[in-house]
Structure 1
Amino acid sequence: MTPISYVIAGSEATGGAGIQADLRTFQQLGTYGVGTITCIVSFDPAAGWGHRFVPIAAPVIADQIEAATAAHEPEVVKIGMLGTPETIATVAEQLRARTWRHVVVDPVLICKGQEPGAALDTDNALRTEILPLATVVTPNLFEACTLAGMDSIESVEDLTEAAIRIADLGPAVVVVKGGVGLGGDEAIDVVFDGTDTTILRAPKVGEERVSGAGCVFAASTTAELAKGADVVDAVQTAKQFTHSGIVGRLASNAPFDAVLPR
């Protein structure tokens, strides 16, 4: 039987991130991808490639989840960009209505295109309604600092401290990703499962961020979990898969490259 990987996330028009990157990742890792769109994000080439953000109505999101879960009965879901408190409340209600083997959360905190007050409301709603439902959460440095209440993360010890603090918010496993933002020649991630800490390392591929890296990391973790891997093995595969995609990155007319595993 083909494993089902399910994602609830935003659409990103260039294809480098969001649900487009998620579904591509699911396919490449041998699972059948099913997706629910929460919002539409498009860059504006005429305005410095700034974000344009359009939320999907909450009842439409609920309808999509109803259809997807009735047709396929997925056991593993990835949560990406949600975008508004109303969307978060809708998704949280739908998540609580089913039993999930794993809920993987890529905690997109600051929703581009929102006013600061609306963004803060979204951040707070994500923290209180979605994170306690997560079995795995995969914050980058900025997200980890925000969730952990830390001013900065500058070392492996800081990564570990952030992971421990975020675990107190409810997730069973926390993966704090150092990426290019942490000093040194290696991209270092810390995995904390509530008891043990695992350090994952890979050589950095340049010093520039690549669009979709966080999406692909969480999506590949989701696909591996759908295939039956344990969490640490799934995260290790996700790191290798994402690293490959950063090496094989795709350039375009946009001022950023996109992850492209080859």
Structure 2
Amino acid sequence: MNFAYAIAGSEASGAAGLQVDIRTFHQLGTFGLGTLTCVVTMHPDNDWGHSFTPMPPDLIAEQIAAATAAYELDTVKIGMLGAPPTIEVVAENLRKQPWKNVVVDPVLICKGQERGQAFDTDKALRELVLTQATVTTPNYVESLTLSGMESLNTIDDLIEAGKRIADNGPKAVVVKGGTEFPGDEAIDVLWDGEEATIYRAPKVGEHRVNGAGCTLAAAITAELAKGTELRQAVQVGKDMVTAGIQGRISANPPFDTVWQGAYTN
């Protein structure tokens, strides 16, 4: 049995976070489990606004201790952390055992948080978690922040961003162009420390679909847990996100949601 482990937040609609991670892990044939770091609650009576509540650090530590004691885990995905105390306790507990794969989806801020909170979160994430990453998967905006670049308009820009982010510690970086990247293609770039691999797919609309970033990082995590080589793991993630956007779910919230079940091997 291959185990895929996530340390991430919960999003009330199930459109992002730990719920997406577990669905993705299971869809790709791994045993998924997770540690909860925070709860993002939506309020339909307030235009679907969001509120953010972190878990107490000692409770996060207890969850990690239980998960790592229950199974022989060597592959973990780090998702929404959201606050420096959470980042500190997760980083400390990651260092307690060796990991073959640490996939970091570097969420700097989530819906429901004040923009000013991103600065301390950014600093702590860079110093404590990204330095332990074997792979990180920043989106367009996160790539700008982490690389210090002003724009990402070409494939060469995406590659340069990957190189700069790798200088902060991650062994490999997947820079996601997303809907913000110019052109008709959704382009992602993997920088593995030696060479760049380009992933292309036609854009499916011009609007973001919730859960795409979580799905990509979780798919990479599941495939790495199964022993898949990194370049192919990213390809599976890319294919799963594309299928999930094409088969997206529309409901009452003002956004569509990636459907992981649309992907088949």
TM-score, with structure 1 as normaliser: 0.98
Aligned-pair distance for 1:47? 2.3
- Any idea what the Cα deviations from partners look like across 1:240-259, whole Å, max 9, x if unmatched? 01111010000110000100
Q: Percent identity of the aligned residues?
A: 59
- The answer (yes or no) to whether the contact 2:109–2:117 under 8 Å persists in 1 is no
- Any idea what the Cα deviations from partners look like across 1:115-167, whole Å, max 9, x if unmatched? 33322101110011100100000000000000000111111111111001000
SS of the residue corresponding to residue 236 of structure 1 reads helix
Aligned-pair distance for 1:113? 2.3
State the match for 1:240 in structure 2: 239
Whole-angstrom distance in 2 between the partners of 1:111 and 1:141: 15
Unaligned runs of 5+ in 2: none
Aligned letter for 2:185? E
Unaligned runs of 5+ in 1: none
Whole-angstrom distance in 1 between the partners of 2:116 and 2:203: 35
State the match for 1:22 in structure 2: 21
State the match for 2:122 in structure 1: 123
The 4+ residue runs of structure 1 with deviation greater than 3 A are none
Q: 1:244 to 1:109 in 2, by over 3 A?
A: same
State the match for 1:192 in structure 2: 191
Instruction: Pick which of 210-219 and 117-126 moved more.
Output: 117-126
- Any idea what the Cα deviations from partners look like across 1:19-73, whole Å, max 9, x if unmatched? 0010000010000001000000012222222221000000000000000000012
Aligned letter for 1:86? P
Instruction: Pick which of 93-102 and 116-125 moved more.
Output: 116-125
The answer on 1:95 being equivalent to 2:116 is no
State the match for 2:133 in structure 1: 134
Whole-angstrom distance in 2 between the partners of 1:50 and 1:105: 26
Aligned letter for 1:147? L
- The answer (yes or no) to whether the contact 2:82–2:121 under 8 Å persists in 1 is yes
Task: Please report the RMSD computed on the Cα atoms of aligned residues, expressed in angstroms.
Answer: 0.9
State the match for 2:76 in structure 1: 77
| Structure 1 segment 79-228 matched on structure 2, within 5 A | 79-228=78-227
Instruction: Pick which of 40-49 and 198-207 moved more.
Output: 40-49
State the match for 2:65 in structure 1: 66
Aligned-pair distance for 1:173? 0.5
